[in-house]
Amino acid sequence: MNVALGVTGCIAAYKAVEILRGLQKRGSSVRVVMTRHATEFVTPLTFQSISGAPVITEMFAPTDDPEIKHIQLAQSIDLLLVAPATANTLAKFANGIADDFLSTVYISTTAPVLVAPAMNVEMWAHPATQENVRRLRERGVQFVDPEEGYLACRTVGAGRLAEPDEIVRRALALMGSKGGAADLADERVLITAGPTHEALDPVRFLTNRSSGKMGYAVAEAAIARGAEVTLISGPVSLAPPRGAITISVKSASEMHRAVMDNLEDATMVVMAAAVADYRPAGVSQQKIKKNGGGIAIELEATDDILAAVCGERANRIVIGFAAETEHVIENAKKKLAAKGADLIVANDVSAADSGFDVETNRIALVAADGVIELPLMSKREAADRIIDAALNLRIGVPAV
């Protein structure tokens, strides 16, 4: 795998040396691009000595190579990783400013982009920075969010560069590689996503606000990490993930049937769909007319798909989801016990930044061995964390 490692100007630049070594140890070829300010913290010679290749620091440095350097590099990489990424770099990327080699590579490449920000806590929290982060996430840029801790400016809070090992892990996962091999290569993952539509009459139905984005993100992450993926999707407006077998359904009963028909070959099941709990007990064959008065609709329970899968679990890893509006962890623990799943992914869907039809999520992973509440992140990042927990369960270590 070919990686362009962008290093920008902040004190955390020295940690990029560890990131470089971590990528190399796992078989990646790394070309380092440094901004002018980055060279004030670490010398290019350090990165050149470790990478074994010249370090790019200038946009217009003289060269005997007739190729246009930034285009050549942009077209040859499997990943652009920027670590650390300053607030200035995020602003450039978000606004399409290409005034140095790194920002020009960013705007020229079609490879996945992963950034690991590092800055003062107030700079990270500033509305301008958060708006730039939001815009980049919407464009598909992945983030390894900064951690909380003691910062170089002698303040405490979010802004510290994530640990190099975590950045390397995320980079390898994004390229579908871990130690040179996909870590889900032996898994056949069955995923459900989206809402269901429960017919009331020929023109009306009961449904919910699910967009399917979380389930589709899990499918994309699993494919990137080498799994064979079957995605059973309710009605959504998303394009099917490339590389997945996608089965489209409408109702809870159709989803139940599709899941059970495809369960035998699955080694891992991720139930991310927001399946209706109830449906109309009777469906009118004609459109129900408005008569000026009220109307009573009798409802009946739908099939409990998660419970059905857990009842035939064999050696499968089974992960359920809990979309809650209150007592999130408490309700997720109850669901874990009641259904018999290995893991419940819970989130508060009443929150504006982690509810339905947004690009971010704030999830809690609830397992028998404990609970971990994760910070706000992109749904693709959350998908990778869910897969990491599933793999931990596979090898018999704590999921959280």
- Residue where one domain finishes, among candidates 132, 147, 174: 174
Looking at the structure, tell me whether residues 170 and 192 fall in a common domain: no
Looking at the structure, tell me whether residues 223 and 307 fall in a common domain: yes
Looking at the structure, tell me whether residues 101 and 206 fall in a common domain: no
Looking at the structure, tell me whether residues 55 and 151 fall in a common domain: yes
- Domain count for the chain, please give it: 2
Task: Specify whether 153 is catalytic.
Answer: yes
Looking at the structure, tell me whether residues 140 and 250 fall in a common domain: no
Q: What is the pLDDT along the chain (400 residues), one digit of tens a residue?
A: 899 999 999 999 999 999 999 998 888 899 999 999 999 999 999 999 999 999 999 876 655 454 546 678 888 899 999 999 999 999 999 999 999 999 999 999 988 999 999 998 889 999 999 999 999 988 889 899 888 765 655 666 678 899 998 899 888 877 864 444 467 888 999 999 999 999 999 999 999 999 999 999 999 889 888 899 999 999 999 988 888 999 999 999 999 999 999 999 999 999 999 999 999 999 999 999 988 888 899 999 999 999 999 999 889 999 999 999 999 999 999 999 999 999 999 999 998 888 788 888 999 999 998 999 988 888 888 998 999 899 888 888 777 7
- CATH classification of the domain holding 208: 3.40.50.10300
Domain membership of residue 28 as a residue range? 2-174
Indicate the pTM of the whole model.
Answer: 0.63
Looking at the structure, tell me whether residues 359 and 239 fall in a common domain: yes
| Identity of residue 178 | K
Residue 181 counted as domain residue: no
Query: Distance from CA of residue 37 to its chain's centroid?
Result: 31
Looking at the structure, tell me whether residues 166 and 251 fall in a common domain: no
- CATH classification of the domain holding 56: 3.40.50.1950
Looking at the structure, tell me whether residues 63 and 199 fall in a common domain: no
Residue 267 counted as domain residue: yes
Catalytic member of 1, 59, 153, 238: 153
Looking at the structure, tell me whether residues 70 and 125 fall in a common domain: yes
Looking at the structure, tell me whether residues 273 and 349 fall in a common domain: yes
Looking at the structure, tell me whether residues 132 and 206 fall in a common domain: no
Question: How far apart (Å, rounded) are the C-alpha atoms in residues 143 and 171?
Answer: 10
Question: How far apart (Å, rounded) are the C-alpha atoms in residues 300 and 295?
Answer: 16
